[in-house]
Chain A
Amino acid sequence: SQQGEEDPQALSIQEGENATMNCSYKTSINNLQWYRQNSGRGLVHLILIRSNEREKHSGRLRVTLDTSKKSSSLLITASRAADTASYFCATVLASGGSYIPTFGRGTSLIVHP
């Protein structure tokens, strides 16, 4: 399976701290995406990083991709209580014609005010 697997499964931090979540995958990818899911709600796309990119930023989010290690990280800086959610990585295969993202199990982030 080429699905991403997030690490850690759960993360609990204080407001203002940085949160780092990691994702590992097994096969070559076209791109890797991070999504956020608030409890009982749909997924919200956060950021997409392509296989030829190493780092992307969006506001307080920073995503890195290391294709040699088949891993990605999502860093949320200066976290807020409102960042409390589950975060999923999703990988899209490099070949085979399928654009369907395959999701990992997610990291549950709790930010304490």
Chain B
Amino acid sequence: EPEVTQTPSHQVTQMGQEVILRCVPISNHLYFYWYRQILGQKVEFLVSFYNNEISEKSEIFDDQFSVERPDGSNFTLKIRSTKLEDSAMYFCAITERVGGETQYFGPGTRLLVL
């Protein structure tokens, strides 16, 4: 089973600051996803990324969000100017192939915006 790590595990930031969340799959996967989960609520899809470009994104993924693979292995989610409502768990997931049905999730980054 593919393994996914995320850093940091926790991050506290001030409103308006930029944060970068990182995802590192252990093996060389090409298909990445970001989800968020506000405390006590459902897991929400943000964006999928394939072959170094966004393949699908949700309404949540507005201009304050961006994703990239800066060095071919790490997969990052950047939030440019954080808002209080961005406080949530952010999960990275991978699939083993495009259209792959089983998603393998990382442990998440807990983001708290003050």
Residues of A within 8 A of B (CB): 3, 31, 33, 35, 40-45, 48, 88, 92, 98-106
Contacts and interface: CB of A to CB of B under 8 A. Distances in A.
Contacts of A99: 95, 98-101
B41 A101 contact: no
Contact of A43 (B91, B98, B100): B91
Interface centre among A35, A101, A105 (most CB of B within 10 A): A101
Interface string B52-83: 00001000000000000000000000000000
Contacts of B89: 40
A103 B36 CA distance: 11
B108 interface: yes
Contacts of B108: 40-42
Contact of B107 (A42, A45, A101, A104): A42
Contacts, number: 51
Nearest to B44: A103
Contact of B45 (A44, A102, A104): A102
Nearest to A92: B101
B2 to A, nearest CB: 11
Nearest to A3: B42
B103 interface: yes
A92 B95 CA distance: 14
A21 to B, nearest CB: 15
Interface string B1-25: 0001000000000000000000000
25 contacts: A3-B42, A31-B101, A35-B105, A40-B89, A40-B108, A41-B108, A42-B4, A42-B91, A42-B106, A43-B93, A43-B103, A43-B105, A45-B102, A45-B104, A48-B101, A48-B102, A88-B43, A99-B95, A100-B48, A101-B45, A101-B103, A103-B42, A103-B43, A105-B41, A105-B42
Interface centre among B99, B102, B110 (most CB of A within 10 A): B102
